[in-house]
């Protein structure tokens, strides 16, 4: 990850888990239209809302591998959260995507080259081969403008069913052309810093009446948590989880919450506030 911006971890999920997820999602996949343009894929279906639609997906978004890697990549932020779930079904004839960086979703904001706000996991729900349009990636492209990358600069991410392609938001990549007679399927679970807006609106996917049925670990991951010392509170400056469940709570004290911040400047601010209070 540090050298190339991505890694492939083989055979993470047993085939039974993959098949269970696909079984839960099949009705939703069948109802998903093909994409409206070349980038989304006019022979590609992109099915979302997996947190609400699939119990297996809810377990997957808090997988220990995800939490460990995303925690390292996004360590410059106090907390990280799920940004997007998308099950991609690339049908025969689906053409290659324009090479791009996914962190550009935040209005093309020029994040510093050494500051990561996104970490993504593309789970292979079928085998990924060059013939069926496996994602193509440009190794070490973190600091390169996507316009400078051609298909010749990329390599296919070939991996077996149950494996996962992990990459940060700065890596130039894009779906390949499916020249096979099979549908290639994969699941993107994307994570972002707790202080940026999530790509998929998880509060519409899992509104309070649905969210209350989920484990608290899942709720924190989909955004029912503080993103940093003052980001995402609810009610009268209260923890969102307490408000969600109607629990008695003490209002959040910013100086206390900031002591656990990833940012040294925020921790120093907390100390200064505490000293003035005394």
Model pLDDT for residues 119-131, shown as the tens digit of each residue? 999 999 999 999 9
More confident residue, 235 or 88: 88
**How much is the pLDDT for 251?**
80
**How much is the pLDDT for 278?**
52
Per-residue buried b or exposed e for 51-82, using 16+ beta carbons within 10 Å of the residue's own CB: bbbbebbbebbbbeebeebbeebbeebbbbbb
46 contact partners, CB below 8 Å, separation of at least 6 = 32, 35, 40, 86, 87, 88, 89
Would you say the C-alpha torsion 229, 232, 235, 239 has a positive or negative sign?
negative
Give all strands of the β-sheet with 136-137 in edge-to-edge order: 155-156, 136-137, 173-174
pLDDT in tens, 169-184: 999 999 999 999 999 9
Averaged pLDDT for residues 157-171: 98
Quick one: pLDDT band at residue 220, thresholds 50, 70, 90?
very high
**How much is the pLDDT for 236?**
87
Nearest C-alpha neighbor of 156 from the set 182, 184, 119, 188: 184
pLDDT in tens, 56-90: 999 999 999 999 999 999 999 999 999 999 999 99
**How much is the pLDDT for 230?**
80
Residue 127 near residue 206 (C-beta atoms within 8 A): no
Does pTM surpass 0.75? Answer: yes
147 has a pLDDT exceeding 80: yes
Quick one: pLDDT band at residue 274, thresholds 50, 70, 90?
low
Name the token pair of 251.
Answer: 């209002």
Considering the chain, what is the average pLDDT of its residues?
93
């Amino acid at each position: 990850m540090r050298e190339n911006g991505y890694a492939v971890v083989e055979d993470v999920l047993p085939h039974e888990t993959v098949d269970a997820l696909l079984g839960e999602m099949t009705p939703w996949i069948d109802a998903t239209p093909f994409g409206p343009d070349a980038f989304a894929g006019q022979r590609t279906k992109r099915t979302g809302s997996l947190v609400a639609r699939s119990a297996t997906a809810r377990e997957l978004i808090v997988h220990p591998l995800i939490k460990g890697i995303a925690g390292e990549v996004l360590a410059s932020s106090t907390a990280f959260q799920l940004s997007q779930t998308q099950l991609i079904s690339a049908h025969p004839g689906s053409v290659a995507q324009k090479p791009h960086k996914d962190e550009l979703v935040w209005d093309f904001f020029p994040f510093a080259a050494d500051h990561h706000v996104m970490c993504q996991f593309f789970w292979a729900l079928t085998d990924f081969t060059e013939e069926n349009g496996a994602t193509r990636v440009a190794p070490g492209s973190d600091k390169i403008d996507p316009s400078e990358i051609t298909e010749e600069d990329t390599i296919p991410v070939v991996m077996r069913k149950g494996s996962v392609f992990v990459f940060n938001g700065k890596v130039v990549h894009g779906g390949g052309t499916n020249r096979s007679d099979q549908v290639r399927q994969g699941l993107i679970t994307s994570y972002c810093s707790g202080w940026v807006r999530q790509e998929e609106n998880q509060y519409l996917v899992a509104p309070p009446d649905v969210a209350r049925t989920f484990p608290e670990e899942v709720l924190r991951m989909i955004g029912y948590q503080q993103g940093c010392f003052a980001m995402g509170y609810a009610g009268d400056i209260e923890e969102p989880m307490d408000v969600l469940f109607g629990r008695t709570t003490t209002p959040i004290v910013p100086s206390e919450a900031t002591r656990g911040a990833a940012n040294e400047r925020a921790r120093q601010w907390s100390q200064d506030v505490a000293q003035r209070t005394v």
